Amino acid sequence: MKNKVYILEDDASICGLIKVALEMNGIDFSAFSTCGEFLAGLAVEAPDVALLDVMLPDGNGFDVLRRVKAEYPQVSCIMLSALGKEEDKVNGLNLGADDYVSKPFSVLELAARVNAALRRKKQVQSITVGDITLDYDSMTISLKGQRLELNRKEYELLKYFLEHAGKVLKRETLLTEIWGYESGETRTLDNHVARLRKMGITNLETVFGVGYKLNILP
Closest CA to 162 of 97, 72, 50: 72
Which strands sit side by side in the sheet containing 4-8, from one edge to the other?
Answer: 28-32, 4-8, 49-53, 76-81, 99-102
Q: Which residues pair with 158 in a beta bridge?
A: none
Average pLDDT, the chain: 89
- Pick among 3.30.1490.20, 3.40.50.2300, 1.10.10.10, 1.10.3720.10: CATH of 126-214: 1.10.10.10
Residues forming CATH 3.40.50.2300 domain(s) in the chain:
4-122
pLDDT in tens, 159-176: 999 988 988 999 988 998
Cα separation, 216 vs 195, whole angstroms:
19
* pLDDT at residue 45, rounded to an integer: 83
**pLDDT above 70 coverage of the chain, percent:** 95
**pLDDT > 80? residue 71:** no
* pLDDT at residue 1, rounded to an integer: 46
pLDDT in tens, 136-150: 777 899 999 999 999
Phi, psi of 46 (to 5 degrees): -85, 135
Average pLDDT score over residue span 179-201: 86
Give 203's contacts (C-beta < 8 A, 6+ positions apart): 130, 214, 215, 216, 217
pTM: 0.60
Angle at 70 between CA 197 and CA 82, to 5 degrees: 165
* pLDDT at residue 147, rounded to an integer: 94
Q: Is 42 helix (H, G, I), strand (E, B) or coil?
A: helix
Let me know if domain 4-122 sits in CATH 3.40.50.2300: yes
Phi, psi of 25 (to 5 degrees): -100, 10
Strand 49-53 relative to strand 76-81, pairing: parallel
Residues forming CATH 1.10.10.10 domain(s) in the chain:
126-214
Average pLDDT score over residue span 126-135: 89
Closest CA to 62 of 32, 86, 28, 96: 96
Q: Is 15 helix (H, G, I), strand (E, B) or coil?
A: helix
